Chain A
Amino acid sequence: MKNKSALVLVIFAFLAAFGSVSAQADNGTLTVGLSVEPFTLDPAGGVYIPEHFVIQHIYDPLIFSGPDGELYPGLASEWSANEDGTEFTFKLRGDVKFHDGTAFNAEAVKIALDRAQKGVTPSSAAPALLTAYVETEVVDDATVIVKFSETNATFLQDLSRAWLMIPSPAAIADLDGGKLAFIGTGPFIFDSWAQQDSITLKKNPDYNVAPAFMAHSGPAYLDEIVFRILPETATRLIALQTGEAQIVQDPSPVDAAGMVDDPNVQIFTFAAPGVPAHQMINTEKFPTDDLNVRIAMNHAVDQEAIMTAASLGLTQPAFSIISPSTWAYNPDADNMYPYDLEKAKAVLEEAGWIDSDGDGIREKDGRKLTIEYPALPAYEEQFMELLAYSLQDAGFEVNLTTMDDAGISAVGAAGDHNILNMGWISRDPSVLSYIFLSSNIEGGSAYTRFRDARLDEILTEAPKTVDPEERKALYEEAQTIIMENALVIPIHTYGNLYVADAAVEGFMFDAEGYPLLYDVTFAK
């Protein structure tokens, strides 16, 4: 009898535990499993993905960037730039209040940008966005002019990043004093932070800044968001399976692939804009100094099949130097060399590369068709062997050597590679300058070592061009030059991976792949 009542008690305890979990979900508490704990939630101090993710739910930007890459009004209702892109005038909203009740105004913008330009930690991302920043002029309470010493064509886009969002001026002294005074205007109010455990945000009932691309306006649907810090991949997944968390970040691709058919979970992937992971082909080293060899390499690689096998289909293959979600993407430069092994072989034969001794490796003038491939397993482990096999099938010999990043940098700087992995996440194609401007060959990352006057001209002029159409045309031409000269073998776009409970609705990525939880609700 005693035993029986104990059993009943246990059952009740279970029911109570499970009951409270589902009750919580109904009340609108969303628990998110983060892989890395943020270092700070101060916009001017952040730099990492989890920081961006949390910051953009507490603060608002002057301008939002929609998932479509277009700009939407945020704290600024209108904006304009002068002719040479050095001065930007913003009309500010007058009906927005910070979480502490103080009014958002021009002074707050000036204080925020002045502070962001200095940065508050050595690794802050904000200062790099404001290198040519001169000052913010407060014209009146609802108007500011932001001034730069040189053209800043990407400033309006940059404003949408978490690092330039606007904190309450009243909280700055506390922030600088190391207090957790994270006060913004965003859809959620910072509530508490238990170190190495969780960060809790509560709904802002007065929220009225939601951008037009959101599904609703006014306050967020969720009452509370709890960001749990769960550094172990396996722990995060268990948290999802037990209902402890409803969204988790970065599952292992194998686990994620195993859940694709699970009706209880949904998988969100985001193909990041910018330069996809690709192999930069050295145009100065034998045998890749021969354009035909570079074209044949491109024809020999089946990105689709490689990525299906390597990432179990969760990472998208790439076929150009700019991924399709990037601004100024040029579809004409995409997939210029579709996979065709026979064509690859034919191009090599025609160019005089013949396997005369029957060892499976082609030669020309007594020199073997050998590719030096230094690889960094941290980034390339999933595809490097398949890439090598693809090239071997066309008659290349591939010397695949794994190295650490120091080794890769040394080989790349010396130009001892034939192919070398590279990639760069960015909404704007301006990053092409870092990896293709010939002045970056020595001491930079221009590992194709390609020298072309027109490409250099474009990559120098475009970042200074303010007119979007003109700028777009320049970058489209750059993509064509790069792909026509077969300077790279595109491999895959970068992706963000989140796994969520099937009941989560309204999950959305912003233009750079950070999740937006403003629209999230639970299916009843």
Chain B
Amino acid sequence: MNEIKRIYRDKPNPRPNRARQLITNFNFVVGLTLLSVTIFIAVLAPLLATDDVNKADPRASFMPPSANHWMGTDKLGRDIWSRFVFGGRVSLVIGLSAMVIGMCAGTVMGIFAGFYGGWIDSAISWITEVLMAFPGILLALTIMAILGPGVNNVILAVGIGTIPQFMRMARSAVLKTREMDFIDAARTIGCSDARILFRHILPNIIQSVIVLATLGIGSAILEGSSLSYLGLGAQPLTPEWGSMINAGRTFLQNAWWVSVFPGLGVFLAILSINMLGEGLSQVFDPVNQ
């Protein structure tokens, strides 16, 4: 009797209330709040900045944080708060755009590979395996060496680096989905391949793709900032968190604020996105239900 009761109780709710689960998920709520603040700062940068990002004043170099300069000034006397808010724009744009590129290209490659199989699958899988053979940052560095420095190239380099994970995940999801009855049904009523791919298969795998993308944005921001830190991304006159950290690296002992604030920016952006992604995956991932 007892045993039967327990089985009944453990039976999952067939239609869980996702929205309710989300707003009560600690990770999701905190992540969303922090991310909203970060995005708010980036979007409203022109209103929040107190100074021209490129106004150098060597006489006011290395000023500690004060009422005039909320985050102090750097070696050239530029206002770090203003560079911080504009730098966040660049860093977030790099992370988001790279992830969109990787997500679109990877998913499309994955569903083609999974749906058609055969030599298409072999060719696409081979390409992604080559890409995966390199550590992410090394691959990005190689691509940067070919394309040359610049923000657009960083987006492309980081984006290409994220293709394999999306491709693999989409491919395995399609392999599972294409054998299901409703696909056979669609085929029977004469749907075209494109219709089956994008109207029937894609919606079924899109949830896991979005969770993966959310989790990946954080690392994409980090990778973009790393490339800028190395001088390959945003160019000197453009504020960007990674290159700002680099600019203050040699002055940490005497002027910690030059590096610490942009570092805090990277930290908060990545933390918020990771918490958000973690929350999403706790709610949507079948393993966690």
- Asked if B237 and A398 make an inter-chain contact with CB atoms under 8 angstroms apart, the answer reads yes
Given A254-B250, A407-B148, the answer on whether A389 and B56 have CB atoms closer than 8 Å is: yes
Q: Which residue of B lies closest to A406 (CB)?
A: B145
Contact of A386 among B56, B149, B235, B250 (CB under 8 A): B56
Nearest-neighbour CB distance to chain A for B110, whole angstroms, equals 35
Verify if A388 is at the interface (C-beta below 8 Å from B).
Answer: yes
- Asked if A385 and B56 make an inter-chain contact with CB atoms under 8 angstroms apart, the answer reads yes
Q: Which residue of A lies closest to B77 (CB)?
A: A309
Contact of A305 among B58, B235, B237, B250 (CB under 8 A): B58
- Asked if B250 and A400 make an inter-chain contact with CB atoms under 8 angstroms apart, the answer reads no
- A340–B148 Cα distance when bound, in Å, is 36
**Residues of A in contact, count (CB < 8 Å):** 21
Contact of B236 among A305, A308, A309, A402 (CB under 8 A): A402
CB-CB contacts of B200-242 with A at 8 A, as 1s and 0s?
0000000000000000000000000000000100011100000
Verify if A356 is at the interface (C-beta below 8 Å from B).
Answer: no
- Asked if B61 and A400 make an inter-chain contact with CB atoms under 8 angstroms apart, the answer reads no
Q: Which residue of B lies closest to A389 (CB)?
A: B56
Nearest-neighbour CB distance to chain B for A66, whole angstroms, equals 36
**Residues of B in contact, count (CB < 8 Å):** 17
Give 4 nearest A-B pairs by CB, closest first: A309-B58, A402-B231, A389-B56, A385-B236
Verify if B33 is at the interface (C-beta below 8 Å from A).
Answer: no
- Asked if B237 and A385 make an inter-chain contact with CB atoms under 8 angstroms apart, the answer reads yes
Q: Which residues of A contact B76 (CB under 8 A)?
A: 309, 385-386
CB-CB contacts of B77-88 with A at 8 A, as 1s and 0s?
100000000000
- Asked if A252 and B250 make an inter-chain contact with CB atoms under 8 angstroms apart, the answer reads yes
Q: Which residue of B lies closest to A411 (CB)?
A: B148
Verify if B251 is at the interface (C-beta below 8 Å from A).
Answer: yes
Verify if B136 is at the interface (C-beta below 8 Å from A).
Answer: no
Verify if B150 is at the interface (C-beta below 8 Å from A).
Answer: yes
Nearest-neighbour CB distance to chain B for A257, whole angstroms, equals 10
Contact of A254 among B148, B235, B254 (CB under 8 A): B254
Q: Main SS of chain A's interface residues?
A: helix
- Asked if B251 and A254 make an inter-chain contact with CB atoms under 8 angstroms apart, the answer reads yes
Q: Which residue of B lies closest to A392 (CB)?
A: B54
Could you tell me which A residues sit within 8 Å of B by CB distance?
252, 254, 258, 305, 308-309, 375, 377, 384-386, 388-389, 392, 398-403, 407
Q: Which residues of B contact A399 (CB under 8 A)?
A: 235
- Asked if A258 and B56 make an inter-chain contact with CB atoms under 8 angstroms apart, the answer reads no
- Asked if B149 and A308 make an inter-chain contact with CB atoms under 8 angstroms apart, the answer reads no
Q: Which residues of A contact B58 (CB under 8 A)?
A: 305, 308-309, 386
Q: Which residues of B contact A308 (CB under 8 A)?
A: 58
Nearest-neighbour CB distance to chain A for B240, whole angstroms, equals 12
Q: Which residues of B contact A254 (CB under 8 A)?
A: 250-251, 254
- A178–B98 Cα distance when bound, in Å, is 56
Contact of B237 among A252, A309, A400, A407 (CB under 8 A): A400
Nearest-neighbour CB distance to chain B for A304, whole angstroms, equals 11
12 other contacts beyond A375-B236, A402-B149, with CB at 8 A cut-off? A309-B76, A377-B231, A386-B56, A388-B236, A389-B56, A398-B237, A400-B235, A400-B236, A401-B149, A402-B235, A403-B148, A403-B149
- A388–B236 Cα distance when bound, in Å, is 10
Determine which residue in A252, A305, A309, A384 has the highest number of CB atoms from chain B within 10 A of its CB, and name it. Answer: A309
Q: Which residues of B contact A375 (CB under 8 A)?
A: 236
Nearest-neighbour CB distance to chain B for A27, whole angstroms, equals 35
CB-CB contacts of B127-163 with A at 8 A, as 1s and 0s?
0000000000000000000001110000000000000
